[in-house]
Structure 1
Amino acid sequence: MSKFSTVIISNRLPVSVARKDGKLVYEASSGGLATAMSSLEADDKIWIGWPGIDADTLSDDERQEIIDELKKQGCFPVFLTAKEVELYYEGYANDTLWPLFHYFQNVASYPLEYWEAYQVVNGKFADAAAEVSTHDARVWIQDYHFLLLPGLIRERSPGLTIGFFLHIPFPSFEIFRMLPQRKELLAGLLGADVIGFHVYDYAQHFLDSCRRLLGIPSSNGTLEYEGRMVKASAYPIGIDYAKFRAQLDTRETKAALKQLDESYGKQKLILSVDRLDYSKGIPERLEAFRLLLEEYPEYLGKVKLLMIAVPSRTGVKAYQELRNEIEMTVSRINGTYGTVEWAPISYQFQNRPFSEIVALYAHADIMLVTPIRDGMNLVAKEYVASKRRKGGALILSEMAGAIDEMPEALSINPNNAKSVVSAIHEALSMSMHEQKQRLTAMQKRLSVVTVQNWGKEFMYDLEVTSTQQGSIKQLSLTQRQRLVTRYRTASKRLIILDYDGTLRSFVKTPSPLAAAPTLRIRRVLKALTDQPNTTVAIVSGRTRRALSSWFVGLPVVLAAEHGAWKRYDRKWHEVESEFKKDKKRIRAVMDKYVSRTHGSEIEEKDHALVWHYVNVEPDVAYKRAMELHHELTELLAGEDVTVNEGRNIVEVKPSFVAKSNVVRELTQRYKADFVLCAGDDYTDEDMFRVLQDDPSALTIKVGSGDTAARHSVGKPAELLGLLEEMQPPSSTLLLPSVPKKIPRKILRWLRK
């Protein structure tokens, strides 16, 4: 199977397969997405998608024929059964996600079989991506059909650079939280490196949901997930502007324009073009037009609304009911206000050829685009692009993503019929000079922000993000080999390790019992300390009691509470501090926040107080932590203490107690020609900075984000793997003996 460096994934391929007269036929699509993808600068690209024909109806030979034919056209098919299409596409994608993401939560349904099919089909597409992608390919996934797919592909092929673009709105947290599988969908999306939305509001809604549901904060549109940085940003999609301009010069469109001029004469034409969908606000639009005729009877016989509704999901009950409602409303308005010579509304439930649509755009005096909710709405842009000599006015819903790019349009609230009426009246009264002035400004913008440039901009950001992900980060195979060689050939070695988040994954309680070292951790540390001329130091924020009980029987140096306590040769030494005199008033403030914040708790150490909020609802935790930090900072102004925010904590400790001081002391006490220092949070950055100018030192951040460390690994398990690689093969196989002194509770944790 050929491998490709650029992979596009969408629900449908740009080529559809159908059966006619018993034979398979192939029909190419000319949609905007196909245009954008064709403009990408990549010689070896492949497009993955469903070919449009049910797998149940195909023989093995026909499947192979489709694979071979589509390969010639740069496509790779994923075959789906009729049942899978029904449950995944018509079901979860369009009966669950589509209505909910467009704020029609009353229409959404949540059958379990929908979700199960959605998982299966996303898995099939992930398998296909793994099959056709090179080890370092760029993969761009399109739309709400594949919210799980980035994570599934990441599991199968960790080295890929993955982008995702959502072509519909991402709803606010209060709406999104209604999904039973909300967390699974967020985790799936976070498998991507770049997540694109039409407008910034949608990106912010996504980041807000990540913070409130997963407890993952963001900064400048970027968040950290499983050791990677994920960027969420707005990439407003454009249209193929040149295509619409060129169509105006074709014979078919010129003929259609001439016919429209003859048919409508001096009558003002208000145009409406939509796919039949409840998100488009068609009934509300009809009510606004009815109100116009009622409040401005002078327009009777002088204006006409031409409404084109493109058939969509005609087998779905909600869409059937919507069509009936629209057709009954059209009949009622025409019956009430029409005459023998004039009908207020011309309604067409059909798709029209591209040449005719462009002619209608060019002729129409007003374009009425009033969706209740729309990710972007390209009809508004197509109308403006099709205007040349004749003027025209665009009336655009403030609920459409396009409004941000088209401020010259007359903005309306689609739920306010009177505002629509006022906008139509203003448009009909607008001078030709103002119409053309507004159109020209929008055309200049649209001619630059095209669908081709949209695709290129997204892929450029994906490439940049990929480069940034690899700049400081994951140790390459060559770097790992060099590190191991340096370790094994060194005459004296010093290994300095943080504990929580570095050797041991975080747990949801400050209790030492829950975070006790696993047998693997003890095995790794024993293997290191068994090597001659090797010193291992654990430098942690944990208490000396926790560290003493955890590492019984291991000859490691211990530094507890960030260095307030240090143990050399099995003897503890304590720094001199006046922190105890501040404890009472600090504790009083923290107690107040514990009483106000369900799930939070206080950890008291000899030389620090820590407010933990890992079990607090994320949005509440974020606000309370900011408030507590501010209150403590004001309370302790001028004191020799610092207030720090860490991972799910707010900590107060003496200013002079820092891991940097421990590292200086260790490097002086244990002279070494190989120093390895690993940590994961802000306290460990102090250690990395101390070692920046030491040529013998290798610093490793566990996780992602800005760091003074020279290298990084994704998670604690990866660091343990590296430490295991450093040892002679036989040493890592030996299980450490578990000392009898270890308390029974901790012993149970060790054996888990």
Structure 2
Amino acid sequence: MSRLIVISNRVAAATGGAAGSQGGLAVALTAALREYRGLWFGWSGEVTDEFTGQITFHREDGVTTATVDLEEQDVEEYYNGYANRTLWPLFHYRIDLAEYERGFAGGYQRTNERFAETVTPLIEPDDAVWVQDYHMIPLGAELRKRGCRNRIGFFLHTPWPPRRLLLTLPEASDLVSTMFAYDVIGFHTNEWLQSFVEFVVMECGGSFADGVLRLGERQIRLIVCPIGIDCEDFAALARSDEARDTCTQMRESANGRAMMVGVDRLDYSKGLEERFLGYERFLIENPEERKEVFLLQIAPPSRGTVESYQRIRSALEGLSGRINGAHADLDWVPIRYVNQGYSRGVLAGVYRAARMALVTPLRDGMNLVAKEFVAAQDPEDPGVLILSRFAGAAVQLTDALLVNPYSAEELSDAIRTALAMSREERIRRWRTMFDNIQREDVMWWRQRFTDTLLSSVPT
């Protein structure tokens, strides 16, 4: 293989933002690309009056990126529409929020065709192509139509919904059939993989054996490949001056109280309302301990033009205000609610200062915050991870306190258990989780996927 070509909706290294503003996936892909003389292609995030396919190349921190601008209609139909108002809620089991519009589906297909037309000349015969996530499901098929015979893999970073939920998507079978243009498809968990297999077998007439899914003359190798973090790098970051200063600042501001931390995009899939309600249940049920703890919730806005995200922000502001109004005292506020992002160094310091982390999504493909929290801990005095059993990370981090985020009682009980947990038990649980994220880190993830892709027979 001469190069690795990564294709995704957004290209973080080209945004010009601080590295700390990148999400976990962006950090992971950047780390993977540094291992190769590769290229990262995607949307620039900018809008143009007319799509021309003009590519902007940029090299930063060892990664070459190639980006294109999209028309406003593309952004509205492909990104705000089909990706974030149709597929995202559907893939997170929220069919009550999914919007099925033909215009969205048409814009999604058109934009993927434009991506394929633009990137095809950049792909050399020996390259391996790695397409990322739900924004670009049909991209592999469009590359094949343009003569691409390279090995092409696809990785889904979200859950894959159960068959009966996916059937609510009008073009579900057509969309799934385009995925047989890929040689390899990766999922975070076996649950998501089996959901995909069930749809193809039950609805499309496919067959599955020995990790290979067949439909007609086409076949795909399916693998479970949970994404990791750069564990050593993040652990070192937690010992940096920026992190130490932040840790000191947070512990001083805690004034002897135990800090719980939540760090999530402002998204209905993250279970933030349920988290606040579970914490409120703790405050009500444990009046003698309520002033011994507080919650710092960091929730940077995302997809602010989509109505459902505007609603969740409004709901959280109202809920946090109600809880604080009902329970705060002159010297204590139960929830510190912050709507902005912070650098990775600052977050590492926040994690290290926290007595526990609440990572309680209602449904999540992986959730790298859980792994970053573990990596940032002081080995001699680690905090406790409270983790939703519906996050992909729960399959690996079984020594977290696993909870059902829909149950306020379970969340309340977990907070009380974490507060009472001995240092010896905290260390034991942390060590097992740290060993896992150290062993199955981002390099392991990249190697496992690319090894499978390179061993496949190209189309």
Instruction: Identify whether the pair has TM-score above 0.5, normalized to the shorter chain.
Output: yes
Q: Does 1:56 align with 2:49?
A: yes
Q: Does 1:365 align with 2:338?
A: no
Report the Cα offset of residue 6 of structure 1: 2.7
Q: Check whether the contact 1:96–1:110 (CA below 8 A) recurs between aligned residues.
A: yes
- In 1, the alpha carbon distance for the partners of 2:252 and 2:30 equals 40
Q: Check whether the contact 2:38–2:63 (CA below 8 A) recurs between aligned residues.
A: no
Match of 1:127 among 114, 117, 134: 117
Q: Name 1:453's counterpart in structure 2.
A: 444
Report the Cα offset of residue 70 of structure 1: 5.9
Report the Cα offset of residue 5 of structure 1: 4.3
Report the Cα offset of residue 136 of structure 1: 4.2
Q: Does 1:146 align with 2:136?
A: yes
Q: Name 1:439's counterpart in structure 2.
A: 430
Q: Name 1:586's counterpart in structure 2.
A: none
SS at match of 2:330: coil
**Bigger CA drift: 253-262 or 288-297?**
253-262
Q: Which amino acid aligns with 1:94?
A: N
Report the Cα offset of residue 48 of structure 1: 1.3
1:435 and 1:68, CA in 2 relative to 1: closer, same or farther beyond 3 A? closer
Q: Deviations over 1:612-635 (max 9, x none)?
A: xxxxxxxxxxxxxxxxxxxxxxxx
Q: Check whether the contact 1:207–1:221 (CA below 8 A) recurs between aligned residues.
A: no
Greater RCO structure (CA 8 Å; 6+ sep): 2
Q: Which amino acid aligns with 2:39?
A: I
Q: Name 2:455's counterpart in structure 1.
A: 464
- In 1, the alpha carbon distance for the partners of 2:58 and 2:128 equals 24
- In 1, the alpha carbon distance for the partners of 2:18 and 2:443 equals 19
Q: Name 1:8's counterpart in structure 2.
A: 6
Match of 1:406 among 380, 384, 397: 397
- In 2, the alpha carbon distance for the partners of 1:229 and 1:319 equals 38
- In 1, the alpha carbon distance for the partners of 2:274 and 2:34 equals 43
- In 1, the alpha carbon distance for the partners of 2:119 and 2:35 equals 17
Q: Name 2:71's counterpart in structure 1.
A: 81
Report the Cα offset of residue 229 of structure 1: 2.8
Q: Name 2:275's counterpart in structure 1.
A: 285
Q: Does 1:395 align with 2:395?
A: no
1:34 and 1:298, CA in 2 relative to 1: closer, same or farther beyond 3 A? closer
1:222 and 1:11, CA in 2 relative to 1: closer, same or farther beyond 3 A? same
Q: Which amino acid aligns with 2:310?
A: Q
SS at match of 1:275: coil
SS at match of 2:49: helix
Q: Check whether the contact 1:14–1:28 (CA below 8 A) recurs between aligned residues.
A: no
1:14 and 1:285, CA in 2 relative to 1: closer, same or farther beyond 3 A? closer
Report the Cα offset of residue 13 of structure 1: 1.7
Report the Cα offset of residue 137 of structure 1: 2.8
Q: Which amino acid aligns with 2:77?
A: L
Q: Does 1:252 align with 2:268?
A: no
Q: Which amino acid aligns with 2:323?
A: I
Q: Name 2:288's counterpart in structure 1.
A: 298
Q: Which amino acid aligns with 2:56?
A: I
- In 2, the alpha carbon distance for the partners of 1:353 and 1:241 equals 17
- In 1, the alpha carbon distance for the partners of 2:255 and 2:424 equals 21
Q: Name 1:337's counterpart in structure 2.
A: 327
Q: Does 1:236 align with 2:226?
A: yes
Q: Check whether the contact 1:362–1:390 (CA below 8 A) recurs between aligned residues.
A: no
**Identical-residue share of aligned pairs (%):** 36
Q: Check whether the contact 1:161–1:193 (CA below 8 A) recurs between aligned residues.
A: yes
Report the Cα offset of residue 36 of structure 1: 3.6
1:449 and 1:375, CA in 2 relative to 1: closer, same or farther beyond 3 A? same
Q: Name 1:67's counterpart in structure 2.
A: 56
Aligned residue pairs, count: 454
Match of 2:38 among 45, 49, 70: 45
SS at match of 1:238: coil
Q: Check whether the contact 1:148–1:184 (CA below 8 A) recurs between aligned residues.
A: no
Report the Cα offset of residue 364 of structure 1: 0.6
- In 2, the alpha carbon distance for the partners of 1:50 and 1:392 equals 39
Q: Check whether the contact 1:4–1:133 (CA below 8 A) recurs between aligned residues.
A: no
Q: Name 2:419's counterpart in structure 1.
A: 428
- In 2, the alpha carbon distance for the partners of 1:38 and 1:370 equals 27
Report the Cα offset of residue 224 of structure 1: 2.1
- In 2, the alpha carbon distance for the partners of 1:263 and 1:383 equals 20
1:387 and 1:156, CA in 2 relative to 1: closer, same or farther beyond 3 A? same
What TM-score comes out, normalization by structure 1 length?
0.58
Q: Which amino acid aligns with 2:14?
A: S
Q: Name 1:272's counterpart in structure 2.
A: 262
Q: Name 1:192's counterpart in structure 2.
A: 182
SS at match of 1:15: helix
Q: Check whether the contact 2:2–2:126 (CA below 8 A) recurs between aligned residues.
A: no
Report the Cα offset of residue 89 of structure 1: 0.5
Q: Deviations over 1:699-725 (max 9, x none)?
A: xxxxxxxxxxxxxxxxxxxxxxxxxxx
Q: Does 1:155 align with 2:155?
A: no
Is there any run of 5+ residues in structure 1 with no aligned partner, and where? 18-25, 471-752
SS at match of 2:158: coil
Q: Check whether the contact 2:275–2:360 (CA below 8 A) recurs between aligned residues.
A: yes
- In 2, the alpha carbon distance for the partners of 1:145 and 1:93 equals 6
Report the Cα offset of residue 228 of structure 1: 3.7
Q: Check whether the contact 1:136–1:159 (CA below 8 A) recurs between aligned residues.
A: no
Q: Name 1:91's counterpart in structure 2.
A: 81
Q: Does 1:416 align with 2:414?
A: no
Is there any run of 5+ residues in structure 2 with no aligned partner, and where? none
Report the Cα offset of residue 28 of structure 1: 7.0
Q: Check whether the contact 1:248–1:254 (CA below 8 A) recurs between aligned residues.
A: yes
- In 2, the alpha carbon distance for the partners of 1:109 and 1:252 equals 43
Q: Check whether the contact 1:102–1:373 (CA below 8 A) recurs between aligned residues.
A: yes
Q: Name 1:206's counterpart in structure 2.
A: 196
Q: Which amino acid aligns with 1:117?
A: G
SS at match of 2:279: helix
Q: Check whether the contact 1:162–1:462 (CA below 8 A) recurs between aligned residues.
A: yes
SS at match of 2:124: strand
Report the Cα offset of residue 362 of structure 1: 0.3
What TM-score comes out, normalization by structure 2 length?
0.94
- In 2, the alpha carbon distance for the partners of 1:185 and 1:123 equals 14
Report the Cα offset of residue 205 of structure 1: 0.4
Q: Check whether the contact 1:151–1:187 (CA below 8 A) recurs between aligned residues.
A: no
Report the Cα offset of residue 129 of structure 1: 3.4
SS at match of 1:297: coil
1:69 and 1:404, CA in 2 relative to 1: closer, same or farther beyond 3 A? closer
Q: Which amino acid aligns with 1:67?
A: T
Match of 2:108 among 118, 123, 126: 118
Q: Which amino acid aligns with 2:5?
A: V
Q: Deviations over 1:300-350 (max 9, x none)?
A: 211111111111112222111111111111111111111111111111111
1:68 and 1:47, CA in 2 relative to 1: closer, same or farther beyond 3 A? closer
- In 2, the alpha carbon distance for the partners of 1:125 and 1:76 equals 11
Q: Name 1:322's counterpart in structure 2.
A: 312
1:99 and 1:364, CA in 2 relative to 1: closer, same or farther beyond 3 A? same
Report the Cα offset of residue 34 of structure 1: 4.7
Q: Which amino acid aligns with 2:38?
A: K
Report the Cα offset of residue 159 of structure 1: 2.0
Report the Cα offset of residue 37 of structure 1: 4.7
Report the Cα offset of residue 370 of structure 1: 0.9
Q: Does 1:313 align with 2:303?
A: yes
